[in-house]
Structure 1
Amino acid sequence: MCQKNYVLELGKIIISRRISAELTADEISQVTTSHRDGYIKLKNGEWRQISYDPNVKFVVNYYAYPFGEHDVVVITDLDSETYRTEVCFSDETHDRTKGYFDWMLHQSRKSPFTLGNVVCTAEVKKSLGMQHIHRLIEKQLSYDWGMVGLGDWTLNDRAVENGGRVLSHHYIGDEYVYVLTEADRSSTTIMLEYEY
């Protein structure tokens, strides 16, 4: 009797900042499709398809990344209210500052995000150079919310789409910095963490 393979429901796919920078769209699609369909790579290099147990709460697979020293890890959380799959490198699985990108949003055309009048506090101007300030503006415009957790990252993505307040948190130039874009998009303020 043939055993039927269980195809994994991936839900929303979340990728880390480094995955976004270092892997191509095709490579990301390949590892997520392999994960979904149950293909794993054995130590001898052979690919094997396994059957997932539909009753598990987490599914974790590792895929060798040919141009780096760390594997790509694909984790699907089946125990949460909304299924989601996270793709990151093995050395950043526990790094809360890795940043998250919604893969579908990342692949599609993003909604325009207006920052309004960008202002910095006096402390930011004194502590950070213009290069760092410009980098923070670029991060905000590219949906990079920095060190916020996955829940806050998702809230910021939704706020851009639905017109809410967006708050990102970054470590740049040896300082912890917040970037706050108002809900009405009239202004964005860059401030040091202790000024928030």
Structure 2
Amino acid sequence: MRSIRFVLGLISLLLVSSIPLLGLLFGGWQAPDLLFCFWIESFVVGIFTMLKLAKYPDRFLLYFFPVHYGMFMLVHLIFLVAGAYLNFFGVPFVSDPISLVVGTFIFGLGCFGSHGISYLSNFLHGREWERRTNFYYFILPYGRILPMHLAIIFGALAGFAPLLLLIIKYVVDVLGYCLEHATLPHRSSVLRGQRYR
């Protein structure tokens, strides 16, 4: 049963990740458009992280996370907008406004659906919260998202092809998902923090 939940979440992740590929192939998207999509996904990840933190009785990290993560997201957004306005990436930020708006809206809904499936099937039904701490889930978004975004942003600045940037995201997404859900650490090896009681 656990393997079914794992595969279901992975399939939903891959399906959602294919939306930017469609925008790239048929919507005229460029690297900045992809970066904006990835920012939206980071926002969705933050929402589900708060839902996970709310499962634990200790509320400090639940209240601190939106402040800390929100600052990270704000700086990231400012960088994207400033980079697009100053043409850091060498291509227009919005290649096709209608395609970008429709595509990112569908992508955002898909992200909610994909992360929602993982949250319900793995975190709640799979009872992952019983073996992991609230601090683990607090730092998880940074360990998964920050390296990916740094690689993609610097790759875009270096002039890498958008398709290559998308491949980087696919690889990081799949590896991150597998590391998070494939194997759970033993209780003795879990990061310090408060477990669910």
Please classify the TM superposition score into its range, dividing by the shorter chain length.
Answer: under 0.3
Q: Which has the higher contact order (CA 8 A, sep 6+)?
A: 2
Report which of the two has the higher share of strand: 1
Larger-Rg structure: 1
TM-score relative to the length of structure 1:
0.28
> Which TM-score applies when normalising by structure 2?
0.28
